[in-house]
A and B are shown apart, each in its own frame.
Chain A
């Protein structure tokens, strides 16, 4: 009984820490995005609140918290309040299987405990795919329940877009899974230890560079970010599916979008860029400092994740929005064949030259 209690306490602590870090990162990202966009467009970004504008996220949060919560006339109240939750929960739940650091096991009060992954389930990556696909419901239902034409159009666009690009995300990942021989993110990361040429993006027998490109583009599309932000295209649809939302419900959609960005960045880092592995073994703490391995490992993981997050901002600052038919044609006629071809060639390569 004590063991169950300790296990529960440890898991809850872990979940609280991960959620805390994710939400803090979201807070930081809202500022970072505006600063990065500002610099790229040769302006300063937010400068008013706090020194150098660093307290801007706090001000934004307070503002959203105290705003009036409006439910439009004729809206479906139940679904209108459910939709933001349906968008946020799947975005946060995926972090349960992400390995943030080395696969250590420590014993706390006689309970085996892995500090750097909440739950190492054997179908980890499928679990994430399953829950990201549920996130689409939040967007569609939010669009429908608002009783507004713009929202409905945004929701419908999003449904088509998310389904199309989810497929590409799933197929791009298959190549990595073939090489790693496992669906668990912990095992996939472990298969990339050593030097950087073991990372699946360039690993023999067949580098997953094409899959990586397909994954990154599809991930941007799946998170509804520019240049694929058709569901919330402000110059056409006001704000798409969340036109009618205000206050905390709006904040939930916002959080969900940013949490999804972090999640897909974590997956990209873990699958293609070696997760918490350093480019070279001597760049991790080793030898007499081996007990600090977790520190350098989590830093490497964070660096990779932040690289992807920066990429999101970079794309937003440089690319114009696609037209809807271009988006669909690109997804089905360009990305899908590349992803399928990659699976075929990787399977043949993995069969002819098995890894160890």
Chain B
């Protein structure tokens, strides 16, 4: 049953991810991205990470993607403006990722795979959300703070861009 769900979710994720770049209408691209986000959230649910699933939908589907849609509709970009000669860069990045996948696939040995914790262990006893909070503020405190700093930088950058006319006047 679990395997069936995994293959269904994984299949839809790959399909919709391809459609995002393949579809001509940007609105449809955004919508297939929405379907993809939902299936990624479904993948988290099958892994008993309900908190992550909910946050995935709230942050990506509920906020970021709405902004994408907003921009796509507002700009109403003409077709010729939408496509840039980015094939060489895309091919290069794709090659890197494919190499990585192949290397990982061939290097993988059964002994390297960490054993899956049995269901009903840590996360289910204390609760999924508490576990994430605990881990974020102890084990992964430093990466967590770095991530917040990066977000802060992005935020300041956005404000500077939006207020550019203000700086230029002076």
Contacts and interface: CB of A to CB of B under 8 A. Distances in A.
Interface of A: 76, 79, 121-123, 126-127, 129-131, 133-134, 136-137, 140-141, 144, 152, 155-156, 159-160, 162-163, 166, 170, 182-183
B29 interface: no
Interface residues of B, number: 22
Given A133-B63, A166-B63, A160 B54 contact: no
A130 B60 CA distance: 10
Nearest to B74: A156
22 contacts: A121-B50, A123-B50, A123-B53, A123-B54, A123-B129, A126-B51, A126-B55, A126-B58, A129-B62, A130-B58, A131-B57, A152-B73, A156-B73, A156-B74, A159-B67, A159-B70, A160-B70, A166-B62, A166-B63, A170-B58, A182-B127, A183-B51
A133 to B, nearest CB: 3
Nearest to B127: A122
**Secondary structure dominating the interface of B:** helix
Given A152-B73, A163-B66, A79 B61 contact: no
Nearest to B52: A123
Contacts of B51: 123, 126, 183
B27 A163 contact: no
Given A121-B50, A122-B128, A129 B70 contact: no
Contact of A130 (B31, B54, B127, B128): B54
Given A123-B129, A166-B63, A129 B69 contact: no
B69 A159 contact: yes
**Secondary structure dominating the interface of A:** helix
Contacts of A76: 27
Contacts of B53: 123
A156 B53 CA distance: 27
B22 to A, nearest CB: 17
Contact of B61 (A126, A130, A144): A130
